[in-house]
Structures are given as C-alpha cells and as structure tokens.
Amino acid sequence: MSEEKVKNKGGRPPYSPTDQQRTEVRNMAAFGITNEQIGKILEISQDTLRKYYEKELETGRSQVIYDIAKNVAMVAKSDRPNNMVAAALFLKTQGGWKDASKVEISGPNGGPIGIKPDLSSLDTETLLRLKQALDSTDDPEEDYDEAEA
C-alpha cells in the first residue's frame, strides 16, 4: 500500500461568505455603493467579490426596492401615515418611480402659444397709439427694459 502525500497548499484558507455578509453586500449594492468600495469594505478582491456574491450584486437593488414597495403598499392600505414621505422619496430616486401627472402647454407643433387679444372694445385713438408702439421697435423687450430704467 503506497502512501499518498498531501501537498500543503499554504496561503489563505478558501473564502467562505456568511449569511450576514451576503445580506450586507446585497444592501450595499442596493444603496449604490460600487463593487470596488464593497470589495474594500470586505477586504476581498473584485474577482472574489464577483465569484461569491454575484447574485447579491445583481439583485440587491431590485430586492430592496421590492421590500420597500411592499412596505409602502402595507402602510398605504392601513390607517398609519408612517414614513410614507421617506418611502415615496426613496422609490422616486432609487426605484425609478415618477409622479403620475406632468402637464406641458405649448402652441402648434410645440411652438409658443399664440395669444389673440380682443381689441374690439378699444377706441380708434388707443388702437393707433398701440400700433405706433408696436411699430417703433423690432424688439419688444427693448421697450420693456427702457420703461423699467
């Protein structure tokens, strides 16, 4: 019977992440901490981080958004107004949520809104003065600036 010699590999023992470390990596990824920063915090290389925490890095952000959304739904259904502002802010800034209403007003083809005032009540003298004022300059802002001075 021959005895096989076991080589002493030496060096560090194999890396073995704990459940607590997995939760921490998931949370750090969810809060936008970079992989480089996470590796430095855990004192491991980028290769080790990707090898052992691939799932947490990929799904951490989505899982936290889901957890918060679930809590928001529970609070929204209850009579408690707890933390709704903070939860809504987080979901808007981190979860891609947006306010439902957005109003934009423009004229035809996205241009300025045309205004046609009713001048029918003005007398002839007022209309002539208005026409002279409009004809006196090509830049209405210029007249406005001079009037303020």
Closest listed residue to residue 72, CA positions, set 61, 58, 85, 53: 85
Secondary structure of 15-39 in HEC code, one letter for each residue: CCCCHHHHHHHHHHHHCCCCHHHHH
Q: Give this prediction's pTM.
A: 0.47
**DSSP output for 52-77:** HHHHHHHHHHHHHHHHHHHHHHHHHH
Calculate the alpha carbon distances from 60 to 77, 88, 125, 129, 141 in Å.
Answer: 26, 19, 74, 70, 55
**Over 70: is that where the pLDDT of 137 sits?**
no
Q: What is the SS3 assignment for 106-134?
A: CCHHHCCCCCCCCCCCCCHHHHHHHHHHH
Q: At residue 146, does pLDDT exceed 90? A: no
Give me the mean pLDDT over the 13-23 stretch. Answer: 92
Percentage of the chain lying above the pLDDT 70 cut: 81
Listed by start position, the domains of the chain span: 19-94
The stretch 91-104 carries a mean pLDDT of 78
Reported confidence tier of residue 4, pLDDT bands at 50, 70, 90 = low
Is pLDDT above 80 for 65?
A: yes
Are residues 140 and 146 in contact, defined by beta-carbon separation less than 8 angstroms? no
